[in-house]
């Protein structure tokens, strides 16, 4: 079989020429941790047609693919990723209709919340400071300050990445809110069977001044409590039932614990930060050490919230 690179060049010469498909793209430039080796093939489709065509070629030729949002919840291997990384960055349209907002997967949550504010719609204030894309937020059921994506989401469109579906007359499918099977940092998208395309959020009319003030307050709280000035992937671990991760880690004496360029944040012990030049191996070593210490001392198993991508 042709190798993946020459196959993609021969099938999509225009996209390669236009820079929409690139080779050996450093993934450290596409994630908030600033860590990760190269993507063998990297593409930023500009529409659903291109996305489907790329997935079709990947599936037909057994080329692995990975869907990348804004990379704010990922630890990507130092070895990078074989196959195709599909960034949703260009699938980023937003629109407004009465009290509903529609967002494509690659739109940033920040822009979505900005649009809500612009139209005096309340219900997404909690999300205004969460980094990442709408697709990533739906995938993760992202949440903060008592709110979760599930509270505002009305419905979504998605693709089933198999050849029969991609080649069917209408490959775009619909999910109602309850069909997302949302729970704490979970959604049906984590089954790996679906690719999120867009969502509609149903909000309520509110006072723009009150909405803006709440967004500002939450932003200030983030800057006060989280290491926003250093590269990270947010909270590394899910919150274990009945405990606060940061306190468990702190009580183990691990504040500032460092391996290579990666360290438990001084400011918030639930975060691991890249102090400069950290590798994925450094971060993973810190994670394993924290998990071991917390388990031995408190008998609590810390499960990672960030997603480990590629070979460790």
Contacts with ligand FAD, residue ranges (CB under 6 A): 32, 67-74, 88, 105, 130-133, 135-137, 139-140, 142-144, 189, 195-196, 226, 228, 232-234, 307
Of 206 and 270, which has the nearer Cβ to ligand FAD?
Answer: 270
> Of the two residues 65 and 293, which places its CB atom closer to ligand FAD in the complex?
65
Is 311 noted as a catalytic residue in this protein? no
Greatest distance between any 2 Cα atoms in the chain: 60
Nearer to ligand FAD, 115 or 218 (CB): 218
β-bridge partners, 108: 133
Residue 305 annotated in active site: yes
Q: What is the C-alpha to C-alpha distance for residues 48 and 246, in angstroms, rounded to an integer?
A: 41
The DSSP bridge partners found for residue 43 are 21, 86
According to DSSP H, which parts of the chain are helical? 4-11, 13-17, 48-60, 109-118, 134-140, 163-166, 208-225, 245-251, 280-298
CB of 180 to ligand FAD, least distance (A): 12
Least gap, CB of 170 to ligand FAD (angstroms): 19
Residue 244 CB neighbours (<10 A): 13
**C-beta closer to ligand FAD: residue 165 or 295:** 165
- At closest approach, how far in Å is the CB of 17 from ligand FAD? 26
Q: What is the DSSP letter of 155?
A: E
Among 185, 187, 199, 293, the one annotated catalytic: 185
> Is 235 annotated in the active site?
yes
- Point out the residues that are catalytic: 185, 235, 305
């Amino acid at each position: 079989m042709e190798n993946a690179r020459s196959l993609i060049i021969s099938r999509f010469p225009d996209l390669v020429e236009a820079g929409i498909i690139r080779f050996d793209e450093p993934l450290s430039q596409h994630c908030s941790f600033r860590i990760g080796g190269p993507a063998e093939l990297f593409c930023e489709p500009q529409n659903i047609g291109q996305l489907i065509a790329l997935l079709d070629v990947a599936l037909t030729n057994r080329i692995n693919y990975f869907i990348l949002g804004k990379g704010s919840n990922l630890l990507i291997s130092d070895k990078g990723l074989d196959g195709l990384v599909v960034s949703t960055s260009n699938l980023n349209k937003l629109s407004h209709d009465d009290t509903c907002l529609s967002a494509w997967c690659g739109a940033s949550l920040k822009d979505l919340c900005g649009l809500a504010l612009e139209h005096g719609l309340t219900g997404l204030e909690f999300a205004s400071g969460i980094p990442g894309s709408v697709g990533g937020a739906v995938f993760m059921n992202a949440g903060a300050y008592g709110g979760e994506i599930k509270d505002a989401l009305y419905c979504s469109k998605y693709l089933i990445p198999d050849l029969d579906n991609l080649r069917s007359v209408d490959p775009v499918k619909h999910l109602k809110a309850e069909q997302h099977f949302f729970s704490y940092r979970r959604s049906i998208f984590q089954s790996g069977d679906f690719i999120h395309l867009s969502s509609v959020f149903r909000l309520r009319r509110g006072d723009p001044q009150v909405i803006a003030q709440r967004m500002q307050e939450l932003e200030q709280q983030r800057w006060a409590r989280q290491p926003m000035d250093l590269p990270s992937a947010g909270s590394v671990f899910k919150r274990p039932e009945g405990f606060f991760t940061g306190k468990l880690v702190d009580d183990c004496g691990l504040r500032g614990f460092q391996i290579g360029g990666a360290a438990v944040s001084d400011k918030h012990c639930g975060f691991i930060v890249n102090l400069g030049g950290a590798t994925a191996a450094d971060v993973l070593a810190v994670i394993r050490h924290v998990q071991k210490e917390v388990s031995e001392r408190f008998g609590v198993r810390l499960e990672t919230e960030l997603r480990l991508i590629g070979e460790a």
